[in-house]
Structure 1
Amino acid sequence: MSPRPIRTLIAGLAMIFALSACALFPNRDPLNINVVGIEPLPSQDLEIRFAVKLRLQNPNDNDIQYDGVALNLDVNGKLLASGVSSQKGTITRFSEGVLTVPVTVSAFAALRQAVGLTEQQRLDNLPYELHGKLAGGLFGTLRFEDSGTLSLP
C-alpha cells in the first residue's frame, strides 16, 4: 500500500472523530446572569469586602452544574474588586438561583477609583462591568458578563 491511501484513510478517520466529538457537547444558550445586590462584609486592614449577589437564570433544557466561580468588577472602566468562591451547585433546567460571591477591594483600587472621579461625578449611577466564569469541569466552564450602573452610599 502506498503512503497516499494511508494518509487519506487517516485524514478521513480524524474527520469522523472530530465530527463525533462535536456531537458530545450540548448546544446551550448562554446563562442570564445579573447583579442583584451588593452587601458589606467584615473587612481587614487596608481592604474593603463585599458580598456580590448574582441571579443566575438557566434558559436551557438541561441542568448546569458548577463547582467554582470567579469574577472581576470594573467601575468607571477600572478594576475595583475581584473575588472567587469554591461553591458547588446546580441550576436546574429552566430555573434560577442566587449565588453570593465575596469580593475584595484593595485600598489602592479604592484610591485609584477616587482619583478617577471628577468633581461632577458622585457615587451614584457609576457605570460597572462584571466579568466572570462559572467553573464546570474541562468543557463545562461558562463565561459571563453584566453591565449597568451602581449606586454606592
Structure 2
Amino acid sequence: MRIQRKTATTWLAMFLLLVLAGCAGFSSLEKPQVTLADIQIQEVKTLETAFLVQLRVMNPNTNPLEIEGLSCDVELDGRKFASGLQGGQGTIPAYGSVLVPMEVYASVLDMFTSVLGVLQNQNEQGAVGRPISYRLKGKVRVSSGGFSHNLPFASEGEIKL
C-alpha cells in the first residue's frame, strides 16, 4: 500500500512539473505585432457598413504560431468605429508575417458619429484635410506546442484621405 502511494505521489509530482514547465514556456511567448495594412468598403446597408481590413500579423517568436482566431476594434480619432471577428487563418512562421483579411462592421450611427466628430475636430483646429488617427486593438488566439492563449495587441497610425 505504501509503495503504491509513493508511486502515485511521484507520478503526480512529475505531471505537475511537466504542466508547469509547459505553461512557463508558453508564457514566454512575445505578443504578435498586428498592424492595419489596408481597408476597403465591402457593403453598405441601411443600418450597417461592412469593411474588409487587411491585418499584418508578425510573429517575433522562434516558434511558428497557429492562428485560431482574431478579434479587433477600430477607433478613428479616439471614437469607436468598427469591430470584427475572424476564425483561424493558418500559421505564422517563426520571425515571419502573414496578411489576414477580416471583415469589420460599423453601425451607421457609430460611423456618422465618428465622421462628424472628425470633421468637427478638423474645423475647430483649422486642419481640414489632415490625416485621421486610428487605433487598432484586440486579441489574437494562438496555439503553440499544444497550448492555446489569447495575446492582446494594439497599434496606432494615421490614415491620409
Q: TM-score, normalised by structure 1?
A: 0.78
Contact kept, 8 Å, 1:124 with 1:150, in 2: the verdict is: no
Whole-Å separation in 2 of the counterparts to 1:126 and 1:67: 31
Match of 2:51 in 1: 50
- The one-character-per-residue Cα deviations of 1:62-119 (angstroms, maximum 9, x if unpaired) are 0111221110001111100111111331101121110011011111111211331322
- The one-character-per-residue Cα deviations of 1:13-67 (angstroms, maximum 9, x if unpaired) are 7xx7585464342522222221111111022222221111111111211011122
Alignment pair present for 1:128 and 2:137:
no
Contact kept, 8 Å, 2:73 with 2:80, in 1: the verdict is: yes
Contact kept, 8 Å, 1:47 with 1:105, in 2: the verdict is: yes
Structure 1: gaps of 5 or more residues: 1-12
Instruction: Give the alignment's Cα RMSD to 1 decimal.
Output: 2.3
Whole-Å separation in 1 of the counterparts to 2:115 and 2:36: 22
Structure ranking higher in helix proportion: 2
Match of 1:115 in 2: 116
Q: Give the percent of matched residue pairs that are identical in Structure 1 and Structure 2.
A: 25
Q: TM-score, normalised by structure 2?
A: 0.74
Whole-Å separation in 2 of the counterparts to 1:20 and 1:36: 37
Contact kept, 8 Å, 1:34 with 1:146, in 2: the verdict is: yes
Any idea what SS the aligned residue of 1:87 has? strand
How many residues are treated as equivalent by the alignment?
138
Q: Which residue, 150, 154, 160 being the options, matches 1:141?
A: 150
Amino acid at match of 2:80: L
